Structure 1
Amino acid sequence: MFRLALVCLALSYSLVLSEIDPEEDIDLEDETKLRSQFEDFKVKYDKEYDEQDEETRFQIFVQNLKEAKRIQEQDRGTAVYGVTKFSDLSDEEFQTYYLNPVISNNNDTWPEEVLWTEESGRLANLSCPRYWDWRRRGAVTAVINQRRCSAGWAFGVVGNIEALLYLKTKVLRSLSVQELLDCDSWDRGCRGGYPYNAFNAIMKLGGLMSSIRYRYRARRCSRCSFVRTRIITTIRTYQNIRPYEHEMAAWLSQRSPFIVTINGFYLKHYRTGIIRPRVGQCSSYTLNHVALVVAYNTCGGVNYWTLKNSWGTQWGMNVSGSHSYIRTRGPGLSAPRTCSTSSHSHQG
């Protein structure tokens, strides 16, 4: 057994950078062009509907295009919004399947539930390199598609422990997310959960199995199939870290990747770049998704974080040959930016 230092930092950042050109400006009143774009969307993302559902999905698609255009016009950064694999989903469906209903339904109460968690002390040395990327150092496993299962909370926790296990052993192992979906009795599997509950569940169970031994099924199975003799790693404790960007950057470069909880509504339409909503557009009181912070860097004079998501390779930024990444404003060379929130971090 060895002690792992992991982080669940509840933040809502303004997101910022673009690496692809915006889509062709479609007249949202031209039904012929809209239907043509909808057909292209169906082909690209292999979508099929029955006759009754086809028109419903088309109307949702049009509304999502309008929303993406509105966000694009108001964004102050260089992010690109438009058609994504989620463009045929209503807001309610997106939140149910891909965000975290448990967290978003309890934003007024859940932070108090982690106040008892031990807070890490201030790092003695806050100096850090100009850029840092744990993927280039071999500590980050491949992107997985959570599918229609609100399991980002579990993917974030497991990704953090995978990185820490690599730092300890120099062997990158893919650990079981499904173990948490099936065996964590405090959370709700594919209907959402809290990272700090997941840490407690891992300690109670005794550790994590590999993803090969306990494969991901994108659903909560009726039986927990955890086998203690097949544990790959254990954790002893976890704690909060301080939510200040200078300290976060130092923590990332000196210690390990960490988890952040963010406002993920804009990500439904997000294609690439660094998102920076206007003041008031990105509520710091609406936290509904968990992702893993793996890097920070600067592009065009803009500092940014890189977050690993769990929505598969058909979504998000293409970073180092793999999609499903997000870039966010930071690390703070000044005061925290618009949309940052009072934060709740855990580390083990």
Structure 2
Amino acid sequence: MTQLRTVQVLGGGSAGSSAHVRSLASGLVARGVRVTVCAPAELDRLYDYSGAGAHLVPLPRRNDPATVGALRNACIGADVVHAHGLHASVRAALAVSGAVGPARTPLVTTWHGRPPADGPRAGIVRLLERRTARAAAVVLGTSSELVDRARRRGARDARLAPVTLPPARGPVCLHDGKARAELGAVDRPLVMAVGALEAGRGYGTLLDAARAWRDLDPAPLLVVAGEGRERAALQRRILAEALPVRLIGRREDVAELLAAADVAVLPSRWEARSPLAQEALRLGVPLVATAVGGVPELVGDAAELVPYGDAAALASAVRGLLEDEERRMDLAAAGRVQAGTWPTEDDTIAHVLSVYDELTGR
């Protein structure tokens, strides 16, 4: 039997989908699969797909005929093309549909999240979702809500994918004094958030909450790791209102910083299997998150859940945890137990490989 060859396609590449493809590439290569990753070059610098044993085909983030042509060439001879996210799925569907030969290469697409869209853009997103869902042989959703969404968009076969991000490599020290000193939280509580500074991530609400809890003595320091288009506006507000908040940009040591925190916060409008939530529960860091998307399914009873956009509820939940050490310890223990129920990295890779085998008749 010939060696299975798969092409993994990334578009913009969220942290969750990019890390998932890195894990998938490494696991598939270890199982004898030839893997090509088509992704923006900057993602390879961050996630080292080449170092995982994959062949990298760099693609620009923008869509144009030349990009689709390059992707089509990369897919020649592939047994399965697997796209991650809506942007990548649109490209992959165009590339596969234009391929020549006796049979079209089967397309698998994983829906890692739901693109934020309001007004006219919402209609465009629905149209793109319908086209990619119908073009795919199998749609894998990282939450039950995404599976239902894919079916509503016309997917022939939509399944729940046991996608779990690999844990941080190496030992991580909880409440590390060095990390807290670097962040400026030696003698005050540390609250940590991680994620792109984009609309829909709830950072405006989070700043409202930070304003509400600054009367605590000592006032907690909120640290946000991530970059994005909203950074300048958020920084202006932090300075204008003298909020106890630091924006520290993109970091490679997120696990270490998160482990140093007293509480982690996830204020997003929508999430599927949030990398922050997974890392916090694994590390035993108490989590306050919005009850949206796949978050309740992911965390169970191991986190404090609040409505999206409710600054008072968010502030109250964080304040309550900071003032109740026993509750923080209970959530820390519950988080580790909940994380133990998630599929392992090997489970994730084995499931994807079984889908490939099914589609190729192996």
TM range (shorter): under 0.3
TM-score (norm 2): 0.26
- Higher RCO (C-alpha 8 Å, min separation 6): 1
**Structure number, greater radius of gyration:** 2
More helix by share: 2
TM-score (norm 1): 0.27
